[in-house]
């Protein structure tokens, strides 16, 4: 905790300093723990885990606690950190062997702590890797580095819909067309048997590289800076900010956008299906059109409202 808070303040604590401060502690254990903590870079924060998010502590760019120079990380060269959240960190990196820029999603060690969680991570990632659609960020592989499963996917040059909404509103026609594009991508994923479980503006990236390439025809109704692409398919369970446990089962998703069946929590006998994504996308459309979410309040209040109340009319 001390290391984490000091790094948030812009300091760069090192192992030698802690050895001096705590000579009574076993030196090997201390070095192992602090090195792991510095590498994991578990800085508390509220950044998106979209590949294009840039809200971060600039003093904590390297997971090795050093300078800002690119560093080797297995077969990858870490270039810069672009996001941090409850699940872990996202880095822009170069795959040295294939000479391409990718996004590395590196979970915090405490998020995937058991063999079951590791197995689930690999299973969800393998399912996501089967999806090939221009509206879905491609997952290339899952690799293990330093004992952690690392997700390797396309790097999206752009901003998230959440960040865009923090600066301006979309027109009604633009909002409807954007949601229609996302709906097409979801329809494809659902036909492939994949469910996202956490559709929200932070998980919709606006890919400026696609827009700049001219691959998408100009549209007078388009009022966003890039083509929408869904990120983190099937990996909602990694985001500790979005997980809530009840006696009925695990609730996975962000409360403000989740469907009533998610808010209740479904067990293995009553699994969540693709309709939960459609509901969540409806909440996104509601927010785009009105500038507000259907429900507000604390997490427990939100869950109760989602389960038992109808949202106010968008009008």
DSSP helix, strand, coil percent of the chain (3-state; round to 5):
40, 20, 40
Distance, in Å, from the CA atom of 270 to the CA atom of 266, rounded to the nearest integer, reads: 5
Residue 73 has a pLDDT of 79
CATH numbers and ranges of domains, the chain: 1-40 (no CATH), 158-308 (1.10.510.10)
Task: Assign 101 to helix, strand or coil.
Answer: strand
- Summarised one tens digit per residue, pLDDT across range 180-224 is 999 999 999 999 988 898 899 999 999 987 655 554 444 445 577
Residue 15, φ and ψ in degrees, nearest 5:
-65, -40
Query: What number of H helices and E strands is found in the chain?
Result: 10, 11
Residue 80, φ and ψ in degrees, nearest 5:
-165, 155
pTM: 0.69
Catalytic annotation, residues: 198
Residue 125 has a pLDDT of 81
Segments in the chain below pLDDT 70: 10, 32-70, 86, 146, 210-222, 234-253, 266-270
Q: Which residues 6+ apart lie within 8 Å of 36 measured at CB?
A: 109
Report yes or no: 264 and 276 within 8 Å, Cβ to Cβ: no
Structure tokens at 300: 């427990």
Closest by CA to 241, choosing from 84, 93, 102, is 84
Residue 157 has a pLDDT of 87
């Amino acid at each position: 905790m001390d290391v984490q808070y000091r790094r948030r303040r812009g300091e760069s604590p090192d192992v030698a300093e802690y050895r001096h401060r705590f000579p009574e502690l076993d030196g090997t254990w201390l070095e192992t723990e602090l090195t792991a903590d510095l590498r994991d870079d578990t800085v508390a924060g509220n950044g998106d885990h979209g590949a294009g998010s840039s809200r971060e502590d600039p003093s904590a760019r390297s997971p090795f606690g050093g300078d800002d120079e690119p560093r080797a990380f297995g077969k990858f060269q870490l270039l810069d950190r672009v996001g941090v959240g409850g699940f872990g960190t996202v880095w822009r990196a170069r795959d040295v062997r294939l000479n391409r820029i990718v996004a590395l999603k590196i979970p915090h060690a405490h998020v995937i702590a058991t063999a079951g969680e590791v197995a689930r991570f690999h299973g969800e990632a393998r399912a996501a890797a089967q999806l090939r659609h221009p509206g879905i960020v491609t997952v290339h592989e899952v690799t293990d580095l330093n004992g952690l499963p690392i997700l390797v996917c396309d790097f999206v040059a752009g901003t998230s819909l959440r960040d865009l909404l923090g600066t301006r509103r979309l027109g009604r026609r633009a909002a409807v067309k954007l949601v229609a594009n996302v709906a097409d991508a979801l329809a494809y994923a659902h036909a492939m048997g994949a469910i996202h479980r956490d559709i929200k503006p932070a998980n919709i990236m606006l890919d400026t590289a696609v827009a700049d390439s001219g691959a998408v025809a100009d549209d007078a109704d388009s009022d966003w800076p890039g083509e929408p692409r869904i990120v983190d398919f099937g990996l909602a369970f990694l985001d500790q900010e979005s997980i809530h446990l009840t006696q009925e089962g695990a609730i996975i998703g962000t409360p403000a956008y989740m469907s009533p069946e998610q808010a209740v929590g479904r067990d293995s006998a009553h699994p969540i299906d693709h309709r939960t994504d459609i509901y969540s996308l409806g909440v996104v459309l509601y927010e785009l059109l009105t500038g507000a979410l259907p429900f507000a309040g604390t997490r427990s209040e939100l869950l109760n409202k989602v389960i038992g109340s109808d949202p106010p009319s968008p009008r």
